[in-house]
Structure 1
Amino acid sequence: MLAEVADRGSFSAAAAALGMTQSAVSQHISALERAVGASVVDRASRPVQLTEAGVILVRHARAVVARLDVAEQELAVAAGRRGGRLRLGAFPTALATFLPPVLARFQRKHPTVRLTVVDDHVPRLQKRLVDGELDLAVTYDHDAMPDLAPPDLQRVHLFDDPFRAVLPRGHRLTKGAGLLGLVDLADETWVGGSAQSAWFRILRHACREAGFEPRVALTSDDYIGVQAFVAANLGVAVVPGLATAPAGLRVTVRELRAPVPVRRIWVARENDAYPSPAVQAMVDTLTSLPPGAGRPRLRSGAAG
């Protein structure tokens, strides 16, 4: 009830959502406050605001409610009362490239499973797994970012996603037939991401390993925006392979020679989570697709 009050901003809205009377919700919140020994809501505020004690309780309550929901679902599946549920999270470029055919194939083979998909970034995906909000998450990591690979998740490697260079059409480095190295771009003006961008942290680490610091003039955390800047001849970029060559942009995409920054793509679940048939079926579907399925296939120098 406290979580509903926090989400909806009033006792009356929480009561409507829970199918109860407003007075019943108020009585339960009062009982909670007596048990805690402190106020959990500021009743004078509009909308209703939580006190410090209320914020603490709601943070734990969400995790507890999520875990109880998972337990109820798993028991129902084990008893044969439900066909199964699968809550899958993934980072944006996975959802825009290789995951749609995976999801379509899964639903054709398992039409009774209730599939929901969540779009989020890797740190939040992993937290939602641990909190019981997701059953599986498609994530990535890199040696430069140990924070992206928490030790309490069970992971299966899917494939590697090497970064690629994105150049304006007609750029001098689009003429050769060989592979480019990061160092070939050292004197160029770059389009990059913010300091918080996971992809750009990986790239900056690789550039420093190659002996230079990229000279960034423009930044965007939107891959299409980055490549639109490149198409306008405002700089060069190096982005994950899954993100390259959006339709309609006049850019040239080039493969990079080793050492290449690479994101390792995984499907992850919590270590002690119940391996439901739906979860295992999705893992099997993800790992059984042919190499490169749903991912951009680019030749060196190919334009996108």
Structure 2
Amino acid sequence: MMRKIVPLIFLLLSVLAVPSVFPAEQEKTISGEAQVLEFVHYPPSVLKVSPEETAWIPYVWQTVTVVVYENEMDLQYIYLMAYENVLDNAAPDNKRCHYTWVASKSEGTWTFSCPLGDAYIDTDGCSVQENLNTKTYTVTFRVRVAKTAATGSWDLYASVVDNTDMYDYLENANAVAVQVYLEMTLSTNTLTFAGMQGENVYATQSPMTVTVTTNQNFDIQVKAIGNWISDGNSMPASATKVRGEGDWVSLSTTYQNVWSNVSYGEGVQKDIEWRLDIPIETVPGTYSNTFHIRVSG
């Protein structure tokens, strides 16, 4: 017997013919915003300029520490200055009262110099430590001033410049005191006189040359420790005569000036003439004495 299947086929066709209710693509819009910020480069900041010792002896090495904060870690130059406290950082350099020392960075390497000469900076003793964590530079300068540097209070001054030419500075007023410097040499350590009673005789080594290096004006003074002595006999100290810039001076056991207010300098030379006026009553013999020569500021 034959079955009717028409309704089933119709149902299948009806299901397949139902149209889709979703579009093939969708589109939405959103808003956008962007901020472009200007880069701000802050200048460096000098935090400290500090000497290890506050009493500076001329021509003795000294250590000065400079600490700098730099957010970008791009310092190019670090300057240290020392000058008499009556001056300022703009004064010209000279060995008497104003010094500049420089640390400069090129291709990642720091070098050190002093415009007044290599004698015033120990480049092997200088260093720069860069700390990326704290963004600081710790700079060690090992420097000295000339033997003729002026005595008294000096200021220290540090300034820094980064690679965009931004800078900062710090002054430490009256940071150090430069001390008196004095050295003296004599052309001879012995004086020899020979003559007869009543004669005036010059020392074989006369004139004696006194060479002085100092940073202040000075006097040259002479004295005897006592009379000339020979086996119980004597000649008075006053029989010894010396002359510098003026008249002959008769020596005693008290210092007397033979040169006065001589200008400071290096290797300053002054002559002293020596004469012995042998008293007529002097007993013949070999006499001895000792003399002191003093340089006094």
TM-score by shorter chain over 0.5: no
TM-score, structure 1 length as denominator?
0.25
Tell me which structure has the larger Cα radius of gyration: 2
Q: Which one has more relative contact order, counting CA pairs under 8 Å at least 6 apart? A: 1
TM-score, structure 2 length as denominator?
0.25
